Structure 1
Amino acid sequence: MRITESQAQKNRQKVVARASKLFREGGFDGISVNDLMKAAGFTHGGFYNHFESKSALACEALDYAFRQMDGVREQMPSLDEFVTSYLSEEARKAPGSTCPAAALAGEVARQPDSIKSVFAEGVERMILSIADSLPEMASAREEAVDLVCRMVGALVLARAMPASSNLGRELLATATESCRKNVTRSNGLRRSGRNSKGPG
């Protein structure tokens, strides 16, 4: 029985969503097309009805993951809370449902430019979102880039530690405190009227 175009699109989205999770957990090369399709509830033969290649799926899955992060950031009432959530022990234990920048940066470095471009777009949106949450300052983008580097780097390092490692927890706690201090400092600049955009 031939499926409808609407159902085919739903099936495609199901594969993308599942791949997004599995790639973040095990890397692009950590799972085969056959196992990906099986995990999504479909047969291997249906893969090429939807995607030209595994790399094409990786691009869509990566974009899906970053858009998930966009949604998480939008739902957070404050940047301070986003930082705390991003660098939490829960996030450390759940790479499949959290930031793809922290989960896949090392993997993406070895991938073709098509995947790197999607990754770069996702990181850029992350930077812009954080910059928009900071006071209107000339240095807002610089502050946002700094925060993204600290947050992603700390989460990557913490995940590389054994689950029982106190160092992993220390990395997250220290980065959380440092990032939150930066946010507080930026808010202080706004209140004092320093470093504002435009004529003073």
Structure 2
Amino acid sequence: MRKSREETARTRARIVAAAAEEFRRGGIAATGLASLMSAAGLTHGGFYKHFASKDQLVAEACASIMIDVTDTLAERALREPPDQRLAWFVHAYLSPRHRDDPAHGCGLAALGTELARSSAETRDVVTDGLSHLVEAIARLFDPPGGAHGRARAQTLAAGLVGAITLARAVNDPALSDELLANTASTLLASIR
């Protein structure tokens, strides 16, 4: 019996969601198709019914994770008073919770160095994802944007991604916490 188009689309979405989580958890190169399909509750043999290559899946998975985490944080930050939105966003991004859960966090921080060596299609997605992050941050300024809003938002994005990446990389919990707290304070002080 053939699958309906809707069922095929749901299966593909399930594979993309599992890939997004598995790539962030273990890295792109370290995540094999068999384990990825298993995480999606499927067999390895079905992969090529949905994707031409792992690179195609990487690009699709990255497209979702580059947008979803940013939108979730930015939408939540907009519930704060205008003068507290950016601080809320920075503290949420640089939180121990985000640091300790890379599988559900920012794809730029979890996969940055691997993404730099990815296919052109994936790097296009990363470029769009970074632009989306920068635009989301710029909308949180009080007052919004301003003449130097884009440059300030780019600097904040770079500081956020770099700090969470380093906080995950070190094996000293106190140093990791210190990196998060100090970066948050310094970034917020720099944009006032």
Question: TM (normalized to structure 1)?
Answer: 0.88
**2:138 paired with 1:137:** no
Partner in structure 1 of residue 102 of structure 2: 95
For 2:162 and 2:31, the matched residues in 1 are separated by: 25
Partner in structure 2 of residue 172 of structure 1: 180
User: How many Å apart are 1:178 and its aligned residue?
Assistant: 1.4
Structure 1: runs of 5+ lacking an equivalent? 186-200
**2:170 paired with 1:161:** yes
Q: Conserved in 1, the CA contact under 8 Å of 2:70 and 2:106?
A: no
**2:76 paired with 1:75:** yes
User: How many Å apart are 1:180 and its aligned residue?
Assistant: 2.4
User: How many Å apart are 1:181 and its aligned residue?
Assistant: 2.1
1:100-119 superposed matches below 5 A:
100-119=107-126
What is the SS of the residue equivalent to 2:167?
A: helix
Tell me the amino acid that sits aligned with residue 127 of structure 2: A
User: How many Å apart are 1:24 and its aligned residue?
Assistant: 0.7
Q: Conserved in 1, the CA contact under 8 Å of 2:163 and 2:180?
A: yes
User: How many Å apart are 1:75 and its aligned residue?
Assistant: 2.5
Tell me the amino acid that sits aligned with residue 171 of structure 1: L
Partner in structure 2 of residue 31 of structure 1: 31
**2:190 paired with 1:182:** yes
Partner in structure 1 of residue 82 of structure 2: none
User: How many Å apart are 1:145 and its aligned residue?
Assistant: 0.6
Give 1 or 2 for the bigger CA radius of gyration: 1
Tell me the amino acid that sits aligned with residue 144 of structure 1: A
Partner in structure 2 of residue 191 of structure 1: none
Runs of 4+ in 1 over 3 A off after TM superposition: none
Q: Conserved in 1, the CA contact under 8 Å of 2:67 and 2:132?
A: no
Partner in structure 1 of residue 56 of structure 2: 56
